[in-house]
Amino acid sequence: MTRTFRIPVAGAVLAGERRDGHGTPLVLAHGFGGSRKDWQAVLAALPGERSLVAYDLRGFGESAAEASVAYSHADDLLALLDALGIAQADLCGMSLGGASVLNFALDHPERVRRLVLVSPLMVGWSWSADWIARWKEIGRAAREGDMDHARALWWDHPLFDAVRAGPGAPALRTSIAAFHGGQWVRDEQRPAFPDIDRLGSLQAPTLLLTGARDVEDFRLIAQVLEAMVPDLTRIDHADAGHMLNFETPATIAGQIDAFLQKR
């Protein structure tokens, strides 16, 4: 049975859904500009008996956020697990969600059994000049009040080249159209030290899922993770880009399930 929830945290309300099942709960965090709906095709391909939690990060989807309240997504995840009574979870994060669950696993190793990173970014990452220039252009359009233009620039971003050409394009377009764009204007995330400096201390067995057609920044992040995380298995999808949850959902669902079942 699947049921929805709304959980108050400091300065926000986190919305999500929980499916009762067996084993360690798998908790999924989506990417920037998306929502828990971005996981629908992946969740549909996972075994029906698995215990699942999918939620909207603060300020995304149906999760509300108060203005001018500093926060971290990792702290929100801790509050979420505590409120749901989950002592230990398997975590899966996509892009921004990947950074969030990695940051959480480094902060709270006892709360994480296994970790899945899908095209992850990393807290404190130093972005390339090209990435920064494109991000500033989107932010400028958003701050000028032209959210339609900001969304169009985001849709056309090289990050989504592979998914735009495939069957997942309509789902991505729907996800982007639903994004209000507030985080392009202002984001109250607290500054944090770069996680790259402590990757060697990551305790959870980790599965890293990447696409060979992803942009340079994310390819480099994956290389750093592969080199520095002690217990990491990487699967690189030759014909995929950044949005594996839209491009090849059934395939990564099988890979995630196999990894979580390892002894």
What is residue 202's predicted lDDT score, i.e. its pLDDT? 98
Give residues with Cβ within 8 angstroms of 14, minimum separation 6: 6, 7, 55, 56, 57, 58, 63, 76, 79, 80
Domain that holds residue 49: 2-126+186-261
Would 75 be classed as within a structural domain?
yes
The C-alpha atoms of residue 88 and residue 96 are separated, in whole angstroms, by: 21
What is residue 182's predicted lDDT score, i.e. its pLDDT? 95
Would 228 be classed as within a structural domain?
yes
Degrees (nearest 5) of the Cα angle 208, 25, 168? Answer: 50
What is residue 81's predicted lDDT score, i.e. its pLDDT? 98
Would 133 be classed as within a structural domain?
no
Please provide the distance, in angstroms rounded to a whole number, between the alpha carbons at the two ends of the chain.
27
Domain at 192, CATH number: 3.40.50.1820
Would 142 be classed as within a structural domain?
no
What is residue 189's predicted lDDT score, i.e. its pLDDT? 94
Tens-level pLDDT at each residue, the chain (263 residues): 889 999 999 999 999 999 999 999 999 999 999 999 999 999 999 998 999 999 999 999 999 999 889 999 999 999 999 999 999 999 999 999 999 999 999 999 999 999 999 999 999 999 999 999 999 999 999 999 999 999 999 999 999 999 999 999 999 999 999 999 999 999 999 999 999 999 999 999 999 999 999 999 999 999 999 999 999 999 999 999 999 999 999 999 999 999 999 87
What is residue 48's predicted lDDT score, i.e. its pLDDT? 87
Would 149 be classed as within a structural domain?
no
What is residue 105's predicted lDDT score, i.e. its pLDDT? 98
What is residue 263's predicted lDDT score, i.e. its pLDDT? 77
Under DSSP, is residue 12 helix (H, G, I), strand (E, B) or coil? Answer: strand
Would 224 be classed as within a structural domain?
yes
Would 199 be classed as within a structural domain?
yes
What is residue 18's predicted lDDT score, i.e. its pLDDT? 97
Would 151 be classed as within a structural domain?
no
Q: Tell me, what amino acid is at 58? A: R
Give the number of domains in the chain: 1
What is residue 54's predicted lDDT score, i.e. its pLDDT? 98
